[in-house]
Homo-oligomer: A and B are copies of this chain.
Amino acid sequence: MKLEEKIAKKKAVIGVIGLGYIGLSLVDAFGKGGYRLVGYDYNEMKINSLKKKKPYFNFFDHNLIFSLLDDKMLEVSADSSVLKNVDIIIISVSTSLDQNRNPNLTNLHAAFETINKYLKKDQLIILQSSTYPGTTEEEILPIIKKSPFKIGKDIFLAHVPEVADIGNPDFSFMHVPRIVSGITPKCAELAGQLYRQMGCEIFICSSTRVAESAKLLQNSFRLVNIALINEMKVMFDKMGVDVWEVIEAASCKPFGFTPFYPGPGIGGDCIPVTPLYLIWKAKMTEGPTSLLEQAVHVNEATPLYVMNKIIQGLNERKKSLREAKLLILGVGYKKDVNEIHESPAIKILLLLKNMFADVQYHDPYVEQLKLDSKYNLKSIELNYNKLDEYDAVIILTGHSSYDWKKVVQYSNLVIDTRNVTSNIKHPKKKVIKG
């Protein structure tokens, strides 16, 4: 049976490399679609969690994954040999940065070495991870070219950038159009067929390089706009203007304006990471990167602004940081999620620890938080009427489960970086916007 027919008849076996949020979403969607799947992740803790039916994301329903495992429609393993003989391999490993904030390509390279072992005739390889323009052509294609299979004829290579709005149920797998690209038109066509079969609209690009660039443009757009509003927050604060009110007023314009909101910094797997892949690649081709780099710097400096607001608030009360007892509320990088990758909370906690502040945190979804080799914190139990034991309570993530009225009522001082307390009446100088 040819691959097209296998896809159409749902006889194709799909292997997924990388069982993070995107990997699980793929398994969930193709599992619902009736395909048999195998999942490989080098991280044994993830594999064991899945086998023991322990969810690891609070914002993703793992139940279908667990039933697929029960029904033997899904096999997961930390041993890549499960990928032997699969018809389709989707690479959805996460991309990250090294200590110099350059791309850490370890996960991608490991995935490419893995596929190299399991290449077979009539197979479709799809790169789903976000990465720099050129990855598919420059890194995966040469591997395939060394194999006995002819690209676009015996074997097919495509790039379909991932799209996700974590924690937003409005945009489930099927409801997000997919950018589809391939090394040859046939490669793109097969990948397009697979996603179309799942109900996705698809947009076919002329090259994998364009698809890789499109994903980075989307992320760079968000990075730069968040940086702009983080810069404006400080700028307007110095003029005695509340940026949140300015955004609300500006948002009444029915064209040409999209509101973005300031925060303590940026976090997550995508926005703080992938634009740095673009900058890294652009430097190799001597392209300009000044604006994008400036945006990175602005966001990276934002935790320091929050620090200053904490220091100002304590100073008003004649307290130094090293005399202060502080509580951070929320460490997830985003409201209502337990994801802490690149979370600004980690940076702010480290800044405070390094100034010898006595700081604790609470997050309903994050039990433990490893700041670095030295500090490993545990979430405290939250007792609203004991908040007055802290000199200041610092809101870093606006989780819906918090009772902000009580937070303001019982705290001595609140630093609110998310504007969640704006409608709560309070004595003067009790709440500082951070």
In the complex, whether A292 has a CB less than 8 A from a CB of chain B is yes
Q: Is the CB of B228 within 8 A of A292?
A: yes
In the complex, whether A235 has a CB less than 8 A from a CB of chain B is yes
Q: Is the CB of B231 within 8 A of A288?
A: yes
**Assuming A203-B252, A210-B241, A288-B298, is B221 touching A225 (CB within 8 A)?**
yes
Contact of A234 (CB < 8 Å), options: B225, B255, B288: B288
Q: How many Å lie between the Cα of A258 and that of B206 in the bound state?
A: 21
Q: Which B residues are CB-close (under 8 A) to A228?
A: 220-221, 224, 291-292
Contact of A298 (CB < 8 Å), options: B231, B248, B291: B291
Q: How many Å lie between the Cα of A238 and that of B283 in the bound state?
A: 10
In the complex, whether A201 has a CB less than 8 A from a CB of chain B is yes
In the complex, whether A427 has a CB less than 8 A from a CB of chain B is no
> Can you tell how many copies of this chain the complex includes?
2
Contact of A289 (CB < 8 Å), options: B165, B222, B235, B240: B235
In the complex, whether A218 has a CB less than 8 A from a CB of chain B is yes
Chain A 217-252 against B: per-residue CB contact (8 Å), 1 yes, 0 no?
110111011011001101111111110011111101
Q: Is the CB of A232 within 8 A of B206?
A: no
Q: Is the CB of A287 within 8 A of B220?
A: no
Q: Is the CB of A295 within 8 A of B285?
A: no
Q: Which of A288-347 contact B (CB under 8 A)?
A: 288-292, 294-295, 297-298
Most chain B CB atoms below 10 A, which of A168, A203, A239: A239
Q: Is the CB of B288 within 8 A of A206?
A: no
Q: Is the CB of B134 within 8 A of A239?
A: yes
- Contact size range, A: 35 or more
User: Which of A36-44, A171-179, A352-360, A375-383 forms contacts with chain B?
Assistant: A171-179
Least distance between A337 CB and chain B CB atoms (Å): 16
Q: Is the CB of B286 within 8 A of A294?
A: no
Q: Is the CB of B234 within 8 A of A203?
A: no
Q: How many Å lie between the Cα of A178 and that of B214 in the bound state?
A: 35
Least distance between A272 CB and chain B CB atoms (Å): 15
In the complex, whether A362 has a CB less than 8 A from a CB of chain B is no
In the complex, whether A169 has a CB less than 8 A from a CB of chain B is no
Q: How many Å lie between the Cα of A168 and that of B256 in the bound state?
A: 12
Q: How many Å lie between the Cα of A241 and that of B222 in the bound state?
A: 21
Q: Which B residues are CB-close (under 8 A) to A165?
A: 255-256
Q: Is the CB of A238 within 8 A of B294?
A: no
Q: Which B residues are CB-close (under 8 A) to A224?
A: 224-225, 228, 291
Most chain B CB atoms below 10 A, which of A168, A247, A249: A249
In the complex, whether A103 has a CB less than 8 A from a CB of chain B is no
Q: Which of A377-411 contact B (CB under 8 A)?
A: none
20 A-B pairs besides A177-B252, A218-B253, A224-B225 with CB distance below 8 A are A134-B239, A168-B255, A177-B253, A203-B248, A205-B245, A213-B236, A213-B241, A218-B250, A221-B228, A224-B228, A225-B225, A231-B289, A231-B291, A234-B287, A235-B282, A238-B285, A290-B294, A290-B297, A290-B298, A291-B295
